[in-house]
Structure 1
């Protein structure tokens, strides 16, 4: 098998479908499960998706924090060019009023002169020129017009959508690693086939050498066996290169050391499936559905811009002596904000978001149609691969019997060395075909489990 064929197999990702089977995790080698775990942890795409999901969760917390009171501490110092006071006429009026009140309290007629020696108080400043302020403000939204509530729901569905996307990405990574691992197992199994062929050739070489010594064969027969041995060495080198390429690929996918990957001994064995059960939705479809819900709630949030909003405002001054005569020490108020008309911006934004949700709906229907078709393909492909294994088993049986018969005829001088080498080549090809058939059967099961959303690892 050529290197480019290996690469082509590695890059193939199965098409999704909808048939449910028993999970594959029980059939996977523990070391393969470890490699899948490392590959998922190493994937930058999975990490980025996880960060985006965390951001969506933080968006939920931000939306919820809308209803938490906001407390602000304020401090300032201001120096004016002069004190702010009443004008002179007002000050004279206040002074005259003060004198009348004092005479009235003393029982003196208002038209009598003001007695000497009684102190008068100057009119206070409206605001001293040195102003030191320290206060606290409390802002508390009681009702956001459903805007925050819809924002929370939109963020929740967005986080769920990103979670399903992350799971779908993990499935793709797992399939790549499983494929590469099985492909490496195919290389090891193929090398065993070559070793068997090498043993056969060594046996033939020994027989031909003895036949030449007895004058029963010519050196040409030995040269043909030597040529077959050289061709076998070329195949062994090709498979060694393929093994190196696959180890590099697994190292790139998982970050596992090359030394440990070279030490593993994957085995290529047929795996079975359990009974067909009720199917599950694919993670990609779930992600699209959650994204659709997120956009619908986002549209509701934008429409709720016209609903009145209610908030409480509180203020308290810590330094009373620096307040002006008109400033209160504290106050509490309830306010309503009602956006009656915003130039159609909210309506147009909501319409745009609703169109986005329609796009998701079309994508969902498209995905479901593709899934309905791919499940048939996956089932047919699996049945075909199982049948291929049975056919190749018969081919191996026939090729082995043919080789044994021709080899016996050759030893009885009833067949040529070419016939023996041709029979050995057919036996070798049949063994290769069997290993590839087992690999394809395992691939078909992986594709089928991935298609119905029950691929466990």
Structure 2
């Protein structure tokens, strides 16, 4: 039973999950939950893992079936070149012996001649040349030397390990879907920022046009507005492309139609979440621990090869006519098989399984260290995200006030159109940064929840 791949998968999941994000279940809207469920049903890796788990269940049934009796029906026809008979001397001896028995039975003296009217039987063939056989055989293992029971326990732990691997892969897939969904929300929020900027530019364009008509501004001011509008269109195109790409990513992850995904309107709502000190054992650790237990039972299984095995064997012939004189009609017996020396094969396999168990122990310790580091990193990221959000809110306040001031100065010919556009650009950047801060805060909280093993969705 090979579970090396299980450990490798788990360790890779720990490495990849250390930098992933996810949200708490109460923070996920129903649409996102539905997308996650569709992704879990569609994902080929998860389906493959389920099949491996089913294989482990079959291995358990195979281990149990060792103790079930095996009943075999057999039938055969054989034709020899000739009957198998006694040699001539033996035939003569059997014939004379038959005569003595008959004379004794009828009361004739030992040395009297044998009566001619009494028939004699020829010696039977040892085996007729036409042989038709039909039989049933029974093979029943009563004691496997603990090999079957240890194999059963190893398979159970392997199944459990694979189930935990599947849970970890589900988390990994959910993280990807949630991250893509939040990025789509960030793109949508950015579009709203650009729409606000577009409205500001239209207002400025109207004012500049009126100012030119009244000789209070030059055509250069209008060209600067037009340049700003073209730059805005380029940004809008970029966000449209980003939206298309994210919809394609979600389509690939979940199997949901592109038409339905385009109808989504995800929001970047900031988390109302308080840091929790509670930690749960991660599925990756549980999977490695179960894989370690499975290899430990593999060690026991190989060592038990030297324990005697006990079995019962039976045989019954349905057709007696074609049996030889030496063939029994039926028999039943019990036997013991005891491997004394197998060329060190079991010892070497046991040592290999023991080394595999020790390897899993090293992977468990490494994973625990990585998880502890990811918790510390996630806590620091959360603190930074919180602080950054406060800073950005202050930046927005200053940018809005600055724009209002510069706009008034421009209308009173105390500032240039370039100053107004620069101030508007600062407002736009600050609002972008606010949406990014919401996104980063969600990422930080999600990363911390996953690192602590309290992820739910």
Contact 2:23 2:178 in 1 (8 A): no
Match of 2:8 in 1: none
- State the secondary structure of the residue aligned to 1:341: coil
Contact 1:23 1:454 in 2 (8 A): no
Match of 1:8 in 2: none
In 1, the alpha carbon distance for the partners of 2:328 and 2:116 equals: 37
Query: Which residues of 2 match residues 282-321 of structure 1 at below 5 A?
Result: 282-321=282-321
Residues 69/79 of structure 1: CA separation in 2 closer, same or farther (3 Å cut): same
Contact 1:150 1:297 in 2 (8 A): yes
- State the secondary structure of the residue aligned to 1:142: strand
**Higher mean displacement: 132-141 or 276-285:** 276-285
The superposition leaves residues 111-157 of structure 1 with CA deviations (integer Å, 9 ceiling, x where unpaired) of: 11112211112221111111100000010000000001111111111
How far has the Cα of 1:413 moved from its partner?
A: 2.5
How far has the Cα of 1:222 moved from its partner?
A: 1.8
- State the secondary structure of the residue aligned to 2:267: coil
How far has the Cα of 1:306 moved from its partner?
A: 0.3
- State the secondary structure of the residue aligned to 2:66: helix
Instruction: Give the paired residue count.
Output: 442
Match of 1:77 in 2: 77
**Higher mean displacement: 429-438 or 417-426:** 417-426
Match of 1:383 in 2: 383
Alignment partner of 1:331 is 2:331: yes
Alignment partner of 1:95 is 2:95: yes
The superposition leaves residues 242-272 of structure 1 with CA deviations (integer Å, 9 ceiling, x where unpaired) of: 1111111112222221111111111111123
TM-score (norm 1): 0.93
In 2, the alpha carbon distance for the partners of 1:191 and 1:14 equals: 30
In 1, the alpha carbon distance for the partners of 2:352 and 2:17 equals: 35
Contact 1:16 1:450 in 2 (8 A): no
Contact 2:23 2:445 in 1 (8 A): no
Match of 1:396 in 2: 396
Match of 1:15 in 2: 18
Contact 1:13 1:175 in 2 (8 A): no
In 2, the alpha carbon distance for the partners of 1:234 and 1:183 equals: 19
In 2, the alpha carbon distance for the partners of 1:101 and 1:52 equals: 74
**Higher mean displacement: 407-416 or 169-178:** 407-416
How far has the Cα of 1:275 moved from its partner?
A: 5.8
Alignment partner of 1:428 is 2:431: no
Query: Which residues of 2 match residues 93-172 of structure 1 at below 5 A?
Result: 93-172=93-172
Query: Which residues of 2 match residues 436-447 of structure 1 at below 5 A?
Result: 436-447=436-447
TM-score (norm 2): 0.93
The superposition leaves residues 45-85 of structure 1 with CA deviations (integer Å, 9 ceiling, x where unpaired) of: 21222221211111111111101100100000111111112
- State the secondary structure of the residue aligned to 2:409: helix
Match of 1:45 in 2: 45
**Higher mean displacement: 235-244 or 269-278:** 269-278
Match of 1:5 in 2: none
In 1, the alpha carbon distance for the partners of 2:16 and 2:127 equals: 78
Match of 1:259 in 2: 259
Match of 2:9 in 1: none
Contact 1:16 1:451 in 2 (8 A): no
In 2, the alpha carbon distance for the partners of 1:131 and 1:206 equals: 112
Match of 1:348 in 2: 348
In 2, the alpha carbon distance for the partners of 1:275 and 1:436 equals: 21
In 2, the alpha carbon distance for the partners of 1:14 and 1:323 equals: 71
In 2, the alpha carbon distance for the partners of 1:33 and 1:257 equals: 16
In 2, the alpha carbon distance for the partners of 1:421 and 1:23 equals: 38
How far has the Cα of 1:23 moved from its partner?
A: 7.1
Match of 1:357 in 2: 357
Structure 1 segments of 4+ aligned residues over 4 angstroms from their partners: none
Match of 2:11 in 1: none
Unaligned runs of 5+ in 1: 1-11
How far has the Cα of 1:356 moved from its partner?
A: 1.0
Residues 62/274 of structure 1: CA separation in 2 closer, same or farther (3 Å cut): farther
- State the secondary structure of the residue aligned to 1:67: coil
Contact 2:278 2:452 in 1 (8 A): no
Unaligned runs of 5+ in 2: 1-14
In 2, the alpha carbon distance for the partners of 1:278 and 1:300 equals: 37
How far has the Cα of 1:414 moved from its partner?
A: 2.4
Contact 2:161 2:290 in 1 (8 A): yes
